[in-house]
Copies of this chain bind each other. A is one copy, B any other.
């Protein structure tokens, strides 16, 4: 990638992240944008001539439903040789940064129509949309484009109801991309390169046929076949359990399903036990519903516990380990072992463990070990990397993203994130997680040093207090945070 392209990309990121304009200014910006959109001017054709009067598409794709920052980035990409389309490249020559913001602000106010088609979608395509196919490192579409597939209203585009020809064209463009840079291109080229042409066609048609509320009706199957979900290569795959085919009693099936709901949306489904400010769910560390081999998979936990843990100097049952997650990672309170929350989570985890041999070494567990950093991890270098590689999803302030009252991307520090007692507050653990799993669906694309630097940056920020805090920082440091080289607890809490 040329320096020019990188520069343009970073600039667009900066613009996208600019603080919200004051209401009056915004209103004026909207007016200006509407004028350009409807009438053109200064050498620009009216946008409506290709995109339709309400931006619901015509010769060109639907723009209504796309977010302001996303549109700005696309315009910059057309103007900086990063994205190619003859018509658009011609138009953007006449737009300066200000008019790009104006027209984007206007388009972002337009509402897309809801598709009125009734979707008839192959189950394999439904699965791609709602679960992904992690054996090919394909995350679910809904994981980033939101449960409604309407995007995040800012930087991640809406897919539901978009013209299928346009979606297919974009996927083919991503598939052909040689040197993807930054999270959207990196992730999408990763995804598209795994899709066959037929899948691209089918997927584009399926997405086009959906509207924001029909996505949730896509069939979700408890097939018990873990091989598609773990991200493990065929040669090492987990055998499907003969038991998974057994009839499961209805109450047990309900417990498993509710366990998965808790896993996917913990603050809502297990409200009593999650810290009131926390926005984290189990799935934020245990990717792909707890199945991904490189992200502390639950099928491994199911056969590894009871286990001795240095953290509390005793043998822990699975229930005790889960209590630890609630106390530290979710900054809340341990669910009582016989509570429905705990029982259902355990039912889900054991079900994920179907087919595993008790007492055997699972083929993966925890995070894969990361090599030592060649240079001491540097949080300033990490800050630059974070802006380029991570901020699209996690926000420039690590705040994550909420969409439709659900957390789309988890906050990495601050009041809504895990506390100083969580394992992931350690730089080494965070680096291992990042290296293996980030950007989402494109694990192992960062180099080792970058992963360490990003981890150092993330972990240098404030977060909720360690619940083991003794009232004395020096003592808490000594007892619970003795590893200064990977633990910023002490430096984030200046000694009294």
Contact = CB atoms under 8 A, between A and B. Distances in A.
Interface of A: 224, 241-244, 246, 249-252, 255, 302-303, 305-308, 314-317, 319-320, 323, 336-338, 342-344, 346-347, 350-351, 353-361
Name the 5 nearest CB pairs between A and B, nearest first: A354-B359, A243-B359, A337-B337, A243-B360, A251-B308
Question: How many copies are assembled?
Answer: 2
A401 B350 CA distance: 41
A435 to B, nearest CB: 27
Contacts of A338: 317, 319-320, 323, 337
Contacts of A356: 357-358
A254 to B, nearest CB: 8
Interface centre among A251, A305, A359 (most CB of B within 10 A): A359
Contacts of A337: 317, 319-320, 336-338
B315 A252 contact: yes
A355 B357 CA distance: 6
Contact of A241 (B241, B250, B351, B360): B360
Interface centre among A249, A251, A306 (most CB of B within 10 A): A306
Contacts of A357: 241-243, 354-358
Given A241-B357, A319-B319, 13 more contacts: A244-B359, A249-B308, A250-B308, A252-B307, A302-B358, A317-B337, A319-B337, A320-B337, A320-B338, A337-B337, A350-B358, A353-B358, A354-B357
Contacts of A343: 306, 314-317, 320
Given A251-B308, A315-B344, A317-B338, A355 B350 contact: no
Given A355-B357, A357-B356, A358-B353, A347 B315 contact: yes
Contacts of A342: 317
A337 B351 CA distance: 21
A347 B320 CA distance: 13
A358 B358 contact: yes
Contacts of A320: 337-338, 343
Contacts of A314: 251, 343
Contact of A359 (B307, B351, B359): B351
Contacts of A302: 358
A312 to B, nearest CB: 10
A73 B425 CA distance: 73
A346 B306 contact: yes
B306 A252 contact: yes
27 contacts: A224-B359, A242-B360, A242-B361, A243-B358, A243-B360, A246-B360, A249-B308, A251-B308, A251-B315, A315-B347, A317-B337, A317-B338, A317-B346, A319-B338, A320-B337, A320-B343, A336-B337, A337-B337, A351-B359, A353-B358, A353-B359, A354-B357, A354-B359, A354-B360, A355-B359, A356-B358, A357-B358
A305 B351 CA distance: 10
Nearest to A360: B243
Contacts of A250: 308
Contacts of A246: 359-361
